[in-house]
Amino acid sequence: MIGAPPPPTAEPIVDVRGVSFRYGARGALENVSFTARAGEFVGLLGPNGAGKSTLVRLVAGLAAPSAGSVRLAGLDPAHAPRRAVAQVCALVPQEPRIGWPFTVREAVMMGRAPRQGLLALPTRFDHGAVQGALAACDLVHLADRRLDALSGGERRRVFFARALAQEPRVLLLDEPTAFLDLGHQVMVMRMAEVAARGGLCVVAVLHDLNLAAAACDRLVVLSRGRVVAEGPPADVLTAERVREVWDVPVWRGENGVTGAPVVLPALPRDR
């Protein structure tokens, strides 16, 4: 882990209380509560269909809860002006796409839209923010390359940089390591850690329990639309809980280098 998490007395910038949500007749979330603070990296874990991505959408204001409340730096994100929400929160979705073959620099500049005037003419502050985001994500040497000429891992870094250029207080990542090889997974998690240590509130939907345990300050586990565990990785990722939530028997140990919990499937081999 890089640095230390924020003191527990810090006021939450993400505050979800008793939230429920339905897709038609199907319930997705039921009485879900959690908080996240500036300088904290929180991982949302759970099996497919547990409600993780739905919860991120509610925090981003892309949908409104059917019950309960969501507050984002005091704003109701589903009803506040989108520009005001975008100045607080940046979302990197599961499969970010840009239809036109923009350059890397142009794509990252799009993150400045919530802070630009009516004509969207870039100022020196915009150019400075973009250059800083490119440097933070190791993209300066690719700044003039077209997006369609990049690898999947490079494109993932571009959208991360676009979110940083937005200068948010909250960074939401929906499965940021999906479809990436191990090296790029570690790189993305490291960038998220650095963002949190820089003062951002980072909330990420994750499927890799070991990456989450290694990088996150706190984990929130959802199952069937409900929060079933919350706390430090070492407390949350017990063998019993993983077996109960994911329905897989596991061996649970500790990383000999970092001390972080390690969870591996303990399925018998056919002989």
Q: Are strands 26-37 and 12-23 parallel, antiparallel or unpaired?
A: antiparallel
* Strand pairing category for 170-174 and 201-205: parallel
| pLDDT tens digit sequence for 135-157 | 988 899 999 999 988 887 788 88
Q: Which two tokens stand for residue 31?
A: 């009485």
Task: Tell me what pLDDT residue 204 has.
Answer: 97
d(CA 161, CA 170): 14
Confidence of residue 1 (pLDDT cuts 50, 70, 90): low
Rounded to two decimals, the pTM is 0.89
pLDDT for the residue 270: 66
Say if residue 100 is in the same domain as residue 216.
Answer: no
Q: Mark whether 75 and 187 lie in a shared domain.
A: yes
127 and 176, same domain (yes or no): no
Give the model confidence (pLDDT) of 36-68 as tens digits. Answer: 999 999 999 999 999 999 999 999 999 999 999
Number of domains in the chain: 2
What is the model's pLDDT at position 139? 92
Phi, psi angle pair for 56, to nearest 5°? -65, -40
The confidence score (pLDDT) of residue 77 equals 96
What DSSP line would sit under 36-98, residue for residue?
EETT-EEEEE-STTSSHHHHHHHHHTSS--SEEEEEETTB-TTTS-HHHHHTTEEEE-SS---
Kind and range of the H or E element at 194? helix 182-197
Q: Which of 150, 167, 184 is the C-terminal boundary of a domain?
A: 167
Higher pLDDT: 46 or 94? It is: 46
Least confident range of 127-131, 156-160, 198-202: 156-160
* Judgement on whether residues 94 and 163 belong to the same structural domain of the protein: yes
Evaluate whether residue 32 is within a structural domain: yes
- Inter-CA distances, 26 with 29, 37, 129, 225, Å: 9, 31, 42, 11
What DSSP designation does 2 have?
-
CATH number for the domain spanning 231: value is 3.40.50.300
Same domain, 128 and 72: no
Supply the angle between the helices 152-165 and 182-197 in degrees, to the nearest 10.
10
Percent of the chain with pLDDT over 90: 71
pLDDT at residue 5 in the model: 66
77 and 173 both lie in a single domain: yes
End-of-domain residue from the set 167, 190, 219: 167
What value, to the nearest 5°, has the Cα angle with vertex 135 and ends 132 and 141? 130
Query: Which pLDDT score is estimated for 7?
Result: 62
Side chain identity at 56, as an amino acid letter?
V
**163 within domain boundaries:** yes
Q: Lowest-pLDDT range, 117-131, 189-203, 249-263? A: 117-131
Q: Clarify whether residues 155 and 190 are in a common domain.
A: no
- Give the model's pLDDT for residue 4: 66
- Does residue 24 carry a pLDDT above 90? no
Tokens 């799009």 found at = 110
Distances (CA, A) of 202 to 59, 116, 120: 12, 24, 27
What is the DSSP code (8-state) at residue 244?
Answer: H
Are residue 157 and residue 195 in the same domain, yes or no? Answer: no
pLDDT of residue 103 exceeding 90, the answer is yes
**Least confident among 46-55, 237-246, 262-271:** 262-271
Could you tell me if 191 and 93 lie in one domain?
no
**Average per-residue pLDDT for the chain:** 90
Residue 151: partners with Cβ closer than 8 Å, 6 or more residues away? none
Query: How much is the average pLDDT of 217-244?
Result: 96
Q: What is the separation of C-alpha 142 from the centre of its chain, rounded to a whole number of angstroms?
A: 24
Lowest model confidence (mean pLDDT) among 17-21, 75-79, 97-101: 97-101
Q: Is residue 252 in a domain?
A: no
> Helix, strand, coil proportions of the chain in percent (round to 5)?
35, 25, 40
Do 133 and 231 share a domain, yes or no?
no
* 231 — pLDDT class (breaks 50, 70, 90): very high
- Decide if 201 is inside a domain: yes
Asked whether residue 149 falls in the same domain as residue 197, the answer is no
Q: Is residue 262 part of a domain?
A: no
Residue 123 inside a domain? The answer is yes
Give the range of the structural domain holding residue 158, as residue numbers without chain letter. 89-167
Residue 258 within a domain? no
User: Looking at residues 187-197, what average pLDDT do you find?
Assistant: 91
Please give the Cα distance from 233 to 255 (Å, whole number). Answer: 12
Confidence category of residue 93, pLDDT binned at 50, 70, 90: confident
Tokens 């904290």 correspond to: 40
**Residues 145 and 162 both lie in one domain:** yes
Does residue 1 form part of some domain?
Answer: no
**What is the pLDDT confidence band of residue 108, given thresholds at 50, 70 and 90?**
very high
Cα separation, 211 vs 80, whole angstroms? 34
